[in-house]
Chain A
């Protein structure tokens, strides 16, 4: 050690200080610039905001678990969020701060809401990680001298890993840790040297931190205890104060406060590992720093030969660790699926239809249709919805993976019995667009009960009530929304015209809902997809979305005869030519034993010659490959995006466009 120290001291002072500066500021700067760019470009915080409340990681984890073990029981509570919803009202703040930990909840909520704007969200997430990095540096530097950047980088990178979950609930652990570090620094500044003053300061600070950040106070006490054990000379009063405080916390939390299941120890340890690492990391490092005489980090630094080598090593270690975190997050199958779902949730919410169609889901459909589940069902539904919204459902739906003769992904009706909030939300949105007003209301009601009263749900509910002329119910939701960020303006605009029925009727969403909503009363759970869509077309024959979905339903279920029957209504809905899949459906119908050419006679002339030629070619090749088990694979590249390929092989040709 002496030798290496000598080596360091033998370097010119300028080189040494320059290398130190680069080590102290340069490496963190590089790390956090990369951090910011990565969060902004790859994760995109806007998607975190859109996924708020959906509990995507829990749901995807459950799906993966179910793949391994089909008997996994479905527990709704596992997917219920903690409700990070922001409201600017006195009642909200009173409720928030009337229980310990209110500040934590507020900060996490603010971070999530900042993500509504990608750049701000990336800045805030990076800033939080940077703050954690810096505060830890301050805490440890005081005791252990300088330490390699890799040490404080660990928690910052855990935060980066958390961002890959597309939900920031785990920040409920990060924020108290950050707060605890800040309170430790405050304690050290204020405590002075007198025993009594130290004990008093500790009591005030630990109770303040408990009320604001709840269990952060325990981390604070743990670090103070370490301090007292290893540094301070007159440590007995401090030890007694810390011990008594910890005991009191346990007594209050354990005996008097109601511990929600979410904060109980067993629930905590059943959570993903990042928060556990985070919490354990700080006392561990401080303990390591204290265990050696002087500083373990100082010793580590001193062993290296020269500042430049040390700098290179530190940079290499930080880069390596960053690469490990990023790579492991990107390769993690759960996080990969979470990302696919989060992106789709975001695009659907923002009506970015083309983005969904252009997204690459080849990983999710790798073994499709053998491997299929709610995730695939959701992605198919999303794509079908995007195609329908862009008027291409009859044209391109078989260019994308489709379920094997199951209409389920179209309306996701059975999925509503399953707990997958993105599926429910997607179904509810579609029901609204189709005009299934009460079905949408029921689905949104279930979502609101299980997820929490998220503003986007209340907004839809208020529109549904307005469409049904229930202005009093709508006004309750709108009043609530008028105090919620991002919905205030629209809610206040609607509240202002609430008494004016003509102005309400002119609102585009309400006008749409009223024009297409059901008019006949029936029990919608006793009706299949066809029945629902037919009811809608009965109420409004011009409901093109319902018509497109009905035709898609007939294609999906192989009911080409009914498809042909409905084609005669197509011109009144603006169709001048037949979409390709309908043409292919007619071709299939004509070749079927029960197909009656007379039924399709009026449409045959409208089928494009290209479709006929392609179908002929397919049929020739199909018969030539009869009995060949690889026929589907051979015909896929040529005909994989056609309805007759799907009809013949009971599946589409994978993730091809």
Chain B
């Protein structure tokens, strides 16, 4: 009996390897009349022709599984397994996708339980886009954080395969912090990165012209001016408060925030008085692709007591989207122009990112505050700069969406989303057409089909890149540890009081006995 089974299995495997593939599929299978449940959900999506195999797990009962992946041209890929984990051979996958740009990609799923006939599920239909996605992506991985952070990592992923490398781990510079790594126009050869560490201080690393420079200033949320001459950045004093109920207890707010521009050539910080108003929170800079406009978000400071946690009326703060023309010769900005006001939108606008063709702005809108990542209400919106019309993108979910970016060709967006759990942020891609319509998003593919089911870290700050980062972790660490740094002073830096500690509850405090 065992020998017979082994022989049958051997024949099946041999047939899969050598035979005419479609003939192998069980034609007498019973039709289930529904699509198979697979995880991650890779059905009804549009995928780039150069993406790594979309390995998935079949969440149906059975002890034999068969999957056929086919398109208009070329042989289908047939995969048989016992555990429901579908690992697609990379070479065959690449061939299938490259030969079928613009075509449909069909996934046929079959399952069988011992002693029962094969079951056939409704095919999963996807579309292969004509436009490729940038081949690389950098992103940050971290645990779901509250106040403290000690183990942050920046990774680079080759999107065409499963190759991944760690660009930076904070464990290598005394459990410091590493913030947004921003390449200039999807080109990682020019990158800016902010780090904080007890041992090495707060610094910014700028990668440019094949060299790494350390600036001893905290450049918060950054945006390269296309061409790489300037970096706009904010200096946010971010604070947290915590809710007693709800799925996600964290709320973030800025006590204050100003915007500055760093002149990369002159290695100086340019003071722009219009962007440093004490009564305003100004953050999230972004440049137009031609470098003429600086976009940013702005909201009023509604509190006077900076010691209060959280400050009064912080839940009423809503940011608007503004822009100003950049005067290159004088290093100044022109008159401020409100692109979309929070009053008219009724929500707070943050994280604007202009499309490479300059037509759209992709941004977040949420109930209040300057931080979309902790707001369940945060969704992605697209504003057409020609008509100034905006709409919520279908890629949004019930949970928070944030940290979005464009591919170099402007046909793909990447963003982080807390959908599914409200806790674990994952990275999603979606195709976006020339009119600004998006396809159903799909999660970053992983080699292990069950990867996301037990992965306890979060991903955020994805940045698509046209090439691999040319710096090794060792070089970045050396730059961070280096005592040599460019001195840059942030002008008009406001000091915000530290969080107040209730003295009556401190250890060894004077007795309060007798008082009611």
Contacts and interface: CB of A to CB of B under 8 A. Distances in A.
A514 B511 CA distance: 36
A584 interface: no
B508 A406 contact: yes
Interface in A541-581: 557-559, 561-562
Nearest to B147: A446
A524 B423 contact: no
Contacts of A395: none
Given A77-B198, A258-B477, A408 B512 contact: no
B81 interface: no
Contacts of A527: 244
B143 A449 contact: yes
Nearest to B474: A258
A413 interface: yes
Contacts of A647: 513
Interface in A121-176: none
Interface stretch (A4-12, A350-358, A436-444, A629-637): A436-444
Interface string A421-445: 0000000000000001111011001
B453 A475 contact: yes
A89 B143 CA distance: 20
Contacts of B454: 89, 476, 479-480, 482-483
A34 to B, nearest CB: 40
Nearest to A453: B456
Size category, B interface? 35 or more
B501 A417 contact: yes
B420 interface: yes
Contacts of B174: 75, 77, 261
A523 B310 contact: yes
B495 interface: no
A487 to B, nearest CB: 13
A576 to B, nearest CB: 28
Interface string B301-345: 000000011100000000000000000000000000000000000
B173 interface: yes
A438 B246 contact: yes
Interface in B143-163: 143-151
A535 B243 CA distance: 13
Contacts of B247: 468, 470
A372 B508 contact: yes
Contacts of A406: 505-509
Contacts of A293: none
Interface residues of A, number: 78
A120 to B, nearest CB: 28
Contact of A446 (B146, B455, B510): B146
A515 interface: no
A584 B289 CA distance: 75
Contact of A528 (B149, B244, B502): B502
A386 B512 CA distance: 26
A472 B420 contact: yes
A477 interface: yes
A522 B244 contact: yes
A262 B150 CA distance: 14
Contact of A260 (B172, B420, B452): B172
A526 B310 contact: yes
A4 B195 CA distance: 69
B341 to A, nearest CB: 29
A37 interface: no
B453 A77 contact: no
9 contacts: A76-B198, A258-B169, A258-B474, A372-B508, A438-B242, A438-B249, A476-B421, A480-B455, A557-B513
Interface of A: 75-77, 80, 89-91, 255-262, 369, 372-374, 377, 403-408, 413-414, 417, 436-439, 441-442, 445-446, 448-450, 452-453, 458, 465, 468, 470, 472-473, 475-477, 479-480, 482-483, 517-529, 535, 557-559, 561-562, 592, 594, 647, 650
Q: A-B pairs with the 5 shortest C-beta distances? A: A558-B513, A405-B511, A479-B454, A438-B249, A473-B421
